[in-house]
Amino acid sequence: MKKNIRKDKNLNKDNFRKSLDFKNTISITKLKIFLAIIMLLFFLLMFRLFYLQIVDGNYLSGLATSQQTKSEVISSKRGNIYDATGTPLAISETVDTISINPQKITKPTGNEDTVAYKELVAKGLSEIFGLDYKDTLKKVNSKNSVETIAKKVEENKIKELKQWMKNNNITVGINIDEDSKRYYPNDTIASQVIGACGTDNQGMAGIEYSYDSILKGVSGQIVTSRDASKGEIPNSVESFVAAEDGYNLNLTIDIQIQRIVEKYIKKAVEDNNCEKGGNCIIMRPSTGEILGMASYPDYNLNDPYTPTSYYADNWDKLSSEERWKRIYNMWSVRSISEMYEPGSVFKLITAATALEENITTTDKTGDFTCNGIQVINGNTKAQDVKIKCWHYPSSHGKITLRQALMYSCNPALIQLGQRIGAKTLYKYYNAFGFFNKTNVGLSGEATGYFHNLDDIGPVELATMSFGQRFTITPLQMVTALAAEVNGGYLMQPTLVKSMTNVDTGEVITTEPKSVRQVISSQTSDKIKDMMHSVVTDGTGKNAAVKGYTVGGKSGTSEPIAADKSAGYVASFAAISPVDDPQIVILVTLYKPTNTSHSGGTVSAPVVSNILSEVLPYLGIEPDNK
C-alpha cells in the first residue's frame, strides 16, 4: 500500500515537471514571436522615419513652412500722371477695402443670438455701402474665411462704418484695409491719350495701359511664422520686402493747349455734322514733342464704361460683344490707330521729293499744264483713266509748283509724280516714316498701308502723287510734316517728357531723338515758303491768323469706291511762324455732311481758331504786324 502511494507521488512529480517544461516552451515561443514583432515594428518605424526625413523631407518641410508662414502683401502706390506744366492728369487717392470674416461674426450666448447678430451686421453694411441686403447676408453667412464687401471706399464712408461699429459694439469680423483709387481731376480732358484704369488699378488704355508696369510699381511683402493657434512663434525670423511705388510721369501734353484743341475740335464736329468725329495733333517740330492730341467724341475717364455720342447709338439693342467693341473703339487713340487717306496734304511730300531730287524748282514758269482732266493712258483707249482736277470744268492752265500747291491741282501733281517715278517716291516715303510705326509709346499703333512697289501701275502712281488710294495715320502725317519744316530731320514723336522715381527722386528725361535726315535744309526752306503762299494766296486763306505768318496745305480725300459710306475726310495742316516753325498742326474731320467737305473750307478755320489762342499762350511773338 505504501509502495503504491510512493509510486503515485513520483508520477505526479514527473507530470508536474513535464507540465513546467511545456509551459516554459510556450513562454519562450511567445517571447520570440513578441520580440520578432517588436523588431518588425521598430524596422518599419525606422523605415518610415527615413522616408519622411530623407525621401519626403523637402516636401514635408515646405508643407510645414506654408502652414506656419503668414504672408501679407504690401500694396505699391500707382504713380501719378502730370502734364508738361505739372498739372495732375491722373492721381491715386488713398481709399479702403472692406472685408469680413464670417466665422468671427458670432454672438457667444447662443445660435439664436448669432442669427440675429449676423442679420444686424448684414443690414448695417448694406445700408452704409448701398448694397443689396440679401447678397450681403449671404456673404455674412458664408463658410469662406474672407468675403469682400466693398472696394475703393471713400473716407466719409469709413467714418460712418467705424461709428456704426462703435455704436453696436462690434470689434471683430469686419476689416478695413488701405487701398488706392485712380482719379482723373479733369474728367474728359485728353481721355484717349491718358486712358483709364479698371477697379484693380490695372491700366486699360492709353498711357495708363502702355506704361502700366512703370506706373504700378512693385508690391512688397511681410512674411512671419505662426503656430497652430495662429500665434507668433518665438524667435522666428520675420522677412520684410518694402513695396516700390510706381514712377510719376510728366507728359509733353500741355493741358491748356489740350483744352483749346478739344474745344475747337468738338465745335467743328458739331457745326459741320461730322458723322465720324474729328481729330487734331499739335507737335513741336524741332523736338517731336506732342503738345496736344485730341479726338472727338471723347469720354469721361472717371466713368470709362459709359458710351458717349455716336458710340451710344442703339446701345440697348447691341449684344454684349458689340457693346465691348464700341467701348474699345471709344478708348482708342485715333491719332495712331485709325488710318485715313491724307489727300492733298500729302502733295507736300511729293513736292519735297521732287525738290530734293532736283526734278523741278518752286517757280519754274509753265512747268505743269492743267486742262481740268489728266488722262492716264491704259493699254487701250478704252482702258484710259481720266482724273479730274477739283476745279473742273475750269482749268489752271500753265502753272508752277508753288501754284500747283496753292491751287491744290491734281493734274500738276500727277505730272510731277510721273517724273519722279514710283521707286524714288517709295524711297522717300520710307525715309519720312510711312512704312513703319512712329513708336510714340502707345499700344495699338497702326502703320501705313501702301501698294507693293511691283504692283504700281500708271493709275496707282497718279493717285498716290496727290495722296489717295493708300492709308496712313494722322501721327505719321504730322511727324513727316515736322521733318519737312524743321530743316529736314525726322524726329521721334514723344508723349512722355520724364519719369520720376518717387522713392529715390531719380528723374529719367526723354531727350529729343533725330531718327534721320530726310531732306536738306534748303529744301525745307522752300517747302515752308510754298506753304506760306497757300495760306496767303491759295486754298488755305481760312487758316490765316492775325499778326502771325502761317503756312499750310488743305486736304480733301474722297471715299474709296468699295466704301462710299465712309464719306470724305477734310483736313488741313499748318505751321507757324513760317520762318522758324514752333508748331505744326493737323486737323482731320471725318465725314462732314453739311454744306462742304473741303479741307480749306471746313478744317482751315479750325486751325486758325486753335493757333490764334495757342501761339500767344506759348509766348510766341507776332511776326506779321
pLDDT at 277 over 80: yes
Of the pLDDT bands very low, low, confident and very high (cuts 50, 70, 90), residue 624 is confident
Give the mean pLDDT of 228-256.
74
DSSP 383: G
Q: Cα–Cα distance between 148 and 297 in angstroms, integer?
A: 36
- CA count, 13 A, side-chain hemisphere, 196: 24
Residue-level pLDDT at 97: 84
Residue-level pLDDT at 362: 98
* Structure confidence by residue, pLDDT tens digits, 606-622: 999 999 999 999 999 99
Query: pTM of the full predicted structure?
Result: 0.81
List Cβ neighbours of 56 (8 Å cut-off, separation of 6 or more). none
Of the pLDDT bands very low, low, confident and very high (cuts 50, 70, 90), residue 578 is very high
High-pLDDT (> 90) share of the chain, % = 67
Higher pLDDT, 438 or 49: 438
Q: Cα–Cα distance between 575 and 585 in angstroms, integer?
A: 6
- CA count, 13 A, side-chain hemisphere, 592: 28
Of the pLDDT bands very low, low, confident and very high (cuts 50, 70, 90), residue 73 is low
Report how far Cα 292 is from the mean position of its chain's Cα atoms.
17
pLDDT at 115 over 90: no
Q: Cα–Cα distance between 603 and 340 in angstroms, integer?
A: 15
- Output the nine-digit C-alpha cell for 82: 502730370
* Structure confidence by residue, pLDDT tens digits, 470-495: 999 999 999 999 999 999 999 999 99
Give the mean pLDDT of 547-568.
86
pLDDT at 77 over 90: no
Higher pLDDT, 564 or 72: 564
Give the mean pLDDT of 592-600.
92
Residue-level pLDDT at 364: 97
High-pLDDT (> 70) share of the chain, % = 86
Give the mean pLDDT of 262-269.
98
Residue-level pLDDT at 359: 98
Average pLDDT, the chain: 88
> What count of residues does the chain have?
625
How far, CA to CA in Å, does 551 sit from each of 84, 257, 530, 603? 26, 20, 8, 14
* Structure confidence by residue, pLDDT tens digits, 173-220: 888 877 778 999 999 999 999 999 987 889 999 999 999 999 998 877
Residue-level pLDDT at 93: 82
